[in-house]
Structure 1
């Protein structure tokens, strides 16, 4: 076991986001079972997308799936927007009108100031919310329009979604077991069904990039998505060396280290190259995403990145299916500022109701995306941030976004089917999830 810590910090300042940049970041205990001790041989990672694509004419193609030219693993996120909010009916109309009026005034002013929050830029209501979940929690996706889908979770719950990202309206790739690779147009798709591969030798899109990233905030081990793009061992890192342009596949790379103007690349043979000139290796890199088993994912900006050491998969991280059990309703206890306790089914931010949905928050430009099933408790600390404690003991101070700040639309606790209570962000002392 080891302890991951960050630099010592100064006292938190209430009402300020300085805590994110200068104060306690988090403490994270990682057990030996989290790291594992046995390597996994190549071509054995089973947690890739697999299933069948049925077209509008009834043709069925079955095999490994890639969503567009991007998502390919169970841990990758599907993004869209919910078509409606079924929980608005539990709020008084007077509150809805007041909140919406306040939101539209702020929206107009922020547009004038050219500073409107990216999270809210394209939304028309204070209660509009984006939807995120990992592909491993999805049973099927039915195409219902050029910009809409009906998504089915593993518990059989359907959610109607629209646009919101390039995950809706894209091509779906499938390596059919007989035909090979097909790239099926969106308007030809009826339904995509996901399942676990039965055979171990199914042709797929490749192995994941896995490694330990060292940042200004500590060390993190998990699955890597480089420059928000490259995630397969066969994907290429591009750059310009002193003798010309280079494109190096990640399976040949041992380490990447940030330098003053680019990156130093070390191969498994210990040959080294200084690369510059491309966004893969310099400050124009869009970010490095690390998906950490049993935690969630963290998106690091280039300014925080120091180095990456590529590692072989360990036995236990390859056994990922246990992370994707059947989705359940959020259930727990809410304690108010005045000490009252309410226990029941929870709807968080008037939006997230299932443990497969994702909580989003920022910490010093680091973006965290955490499945609710991994969260133990949430404790508002001030109007713009909160303390999130995971079930494995990890503690995070997250803020800015609606899930973790005063932008939160409120929490509903259903003590019984016909008995519920509404709570504003400022009324909540703590929420404990079970």
Structure 2
């Protein structure tokens, strides 16, 4: 007898199709929060504005034929948020070269043998109605450290030596500048040939990602990793065409953006994660060399928009141990809002994603609707003025939210948020009996 529920198309096994995908608002009206309105980026439609940020798992083989390959663990880990309504889930920072891994146990896509593992994750995520992204990365001078649970002490990293699969003699960066703590190796300054090789490595990895069936590619340009360290004058002291001026320091990032956009399908979205500020303004290093800040990120965003980047994923920090950062729920959202406002003013259609300490339903809703733009330590007069501005012309802070740790704690977070906002959303077919009712205690 034929199954009474249709199987999900394109998946090589039977799984009942959720139509629409989990996390979709079942009825769209003028009162439906923007958070649960579909977002179309090129040829890809996301059923809501909630994406799962890339989160490193340090859970692949460090050597042998399975080195860097995704495993059944990644199928379970990435499949569950998609099953519970997260519209886009990202595979963690995936190294484009072996020496571009953060740790020996990082995932990679520098070899064709690694395609199959990504395909299995793609099938799982597509099978439950979600979209899959992959973040392509090179760790640069922060490479060859051990997984954080194997030796991190007081927030400091621990360098991985050869005995545990590290590559201390092959850590690279824009300049031979070592972090102050002993948890990192001293990088060697990359040659022009090295730089061209990294561009090609991103291109080759992007082609493999397309072959594996992913829906979105994100280029990792944040947190002190290779592209971020090229952008900053604190970590980039080069005197050639890849150092010195702002235009030279961002050259590598723009070359990679253009090269990757040129080899992926025209309908595939391309994201870029940026360190919007390294939180070094006012430091002695910034006074001596300058630093990367929000104003430069705005300038950078305006340049990448015409090159085919579709969404700027706005993060911050991670490029120097002396950063002065005080995280709170609006610290990166505020920056995302500022960048988005300037992009719109300049006529660019580049979307903006907000990330960092987004844990509550109303906060996520307000970020993409524009009804919350209050900041810490505002005076009563400033709050009154802001309230008037919002009533007259509410301005969203971002077009989507990227959720990390909260989805680790609660893979069903999207369903909980929908319930709290009063939105009736599609649940996975197999979980229908567990759907929240209006009398549920959650």
Q: TM-score scaled to structure 2, two decimals? A: 0.30
Answer 1 or 2: which has greater helix percent: 2
Per the normalisation by structure 1, the TM-score is 0.31
Of Structure 1 and Structure 2, the greater strand share is in 1
